[in-house]
Each structure stands twice: as structure tokens, then as C-alpha cells.
Amino acid sequence: MTTSQKRINIILFYILSIIAFAGVIYFMTKPEMTCTDGIKNQGEEKTDCGGPCNVCKKKLKVQKLQVKSIERADDGKGSEDILIRIYNPNEEYGAKSFKYKIYDGKVSKDSYNYRGESFILPKESKYIIVNKYIAKSKGEKITVLINDESIDWRKITKLKDPNLVIYNDKYSMETSGSAYSDLTGLLVNKSTVDYELIKIKGILRNSKEELVSASYQVMNTLPSGDKREFHIIFPIKFSDKVATKEIEVETNIFDSENYLKTSGQQDKWDQ
């Protein structure tokens, strides 16, 4: 063997030794594969799901939430009451939460004037009330956009009617002292669930079915079988005469802290 060949063999030996040493160090310090490493590895179907990880969520085939109507009324204090009606056309899926934005005038990425969050049940049509809304530009059309990517869809496995019933509802105008009117009644919880948070919404219209005002009351803790009076106050004198009233009650069945079954285990309505 010539001197040159010996030198080449020695160099190759050192190179292979360095590679082998680096390999040992890499495998000794290599982070363990997990289902939260943000990498599609270890036979995963998609990144961090499938294979040895949790089953990948299937892309849901759901119809979009629909904005059915937008109404507005001057509240007499330089701002407005906004009444939005949202409809969920899906029969099995409700939204645990969804986000929306309100625009007046031009609609662009950062031009919204208000943003909020709500929930909706399957096949439900519900109102969203925004009080003290101040438009950026008076006379401009109002637009409401729902962020489809923000929707947390939940399949309802055994939906029960929240069974919150209104009795003896009455609208009256206070004539003595400061002018105001109120919408009162009795809310009865006919379900087997103790609700922690309930919203009672009141909508007033004139003889032309135009919005006069909208407001709400939040009621805390209404046990099963219990009843309680509600009192929605409208603290201004309306220019229009109130001809009709509408009351809508909502409670979030998706919130595990909102309801406890009075006997046995907590109902699980979604998956």
C-alpha cells in the first residue's frame, strides 16, 4: 500500500468516525416525537393527528350562518339600538361560539365599528342586541359579517329544549317622574337543569312593525322548577307609539359551567 493510499484511508477513517459520533449525539439529543410537535411524523395522517395520535377531525359539511335582518333605532341619546337576526340552517350542528363584526359604510379589513361573540343552536333563529351603537358615518348602511373561521361547530347528540317559559308579560309606560317604560313578566324554568346565566331580550315595535327599541336583562341562577320576575327597562320616552312587543330567552347549553342536572350526572348535549 502506497503512502498516498494510507493517507486517504486515514482521512476516510476520521471522516467516518466524525459522522458516527455526530449520529450518536443526534439520536441521544433528538427530541422525542409527540402529538404536539407541529410535525407530520411517526405515521400521522395529518400533522399531530391520526396514526398513534388522536383521530383527525373530519371537515364538517355545514351550511353557513345567515344574517337574516338588521334593524336600527335611535335611542334618544346620540346612539342607536341595533337588532340583528341570525339563522342557523343546520339540523344537527350548533355553534358553541361565533364572532361577528358590524360595519357602517365601507367594508374593509379593519373598518369595523363593533365586534362581538355569540352562540346558536341547530335550526335556531335568534336576535343579537347591540345597545349604545355609535355609527362612524350617519346615514350609512349597516353591514354584519360573521367570521366563518371563528365558528366552533358542535354536533348536538340529544338536544333538549331549554324549556324556559314566559308568563304574564306586560309592557307599560311610566308617566310620573322620569319618563321610561318597562317590559315585565315571569320566567319559569320547566327543565330538569339549574341554569346559571339566562338572557331575556325585549323587542318593541310600532304599528308599522318598525323597531322602536331593543334591550335585555341578564338573570343569574334559576334552578329547575323555580320562577322569577324579570324587568327590562327602556329609560327613554319614545317618539313612536309602541304597538307590539316580543320576548326571546336564551341560555348557553354549550357552556358546561352554565347548567347542572338536579339529579345524577350533568347532561352532555354536544360532542
Quick one: DSSP state of residue 49?
Answer: B
User: Which of 28, 33, 31 lies closest to 52 in space, CA to CA?
Assistant: 33
Backbone dihedral angles phi then psi of residue 49, each to the nearest 5 degrees: -150, 155
User: Which of 156, 102, 92 lies closest to 129 in space, CA to CA?
Assistant: 102
Cβ atoms of 169 and 202 within 8 Å: the answer is no
The whole model's pTM is what?
0.75
Where in the sequence is the domain holding 181, given as residue range(s)?
A: 164-261
User: Which of 243, 246, 215, 182 lies closest to 80 in space, CA to CA?
Assistant: 215
- Asked whether residue 11 is domain-assigned, the answer is no
- Asked whether residue 44 is domain-assigned, the answer is no
Cβ atoms of 180 and 233 within 8 Å: the answer is yes
Cβ atoms of 205 and 242 within 8 Å: the answer is yes
pLDDT per residue rounded down to tens, the chain (271 residues): 577 676 767 777 777 777 777 766 766 666 666 787 777 887 777 787 888 888 776 777 899 999 999 999 998 888 999 999 999 999 999 999 999 999 988 888 778 899 999 999 999 999 999 999 998 877 789 999 999 999 999 988 776 678 899 999 999 887 655 658 899 999 999 988 899 999 999 999 999 999 999 999 999 999 999 999 999 999 888 888 899 999 999 999 888 788 755 444 444 455 5
The total of structural domains in the chain comes to: 2
Is 179 in the same domain as 92? Answer: no
Cβ atoms of 254 and 119 within 8 Å: the answer is yes
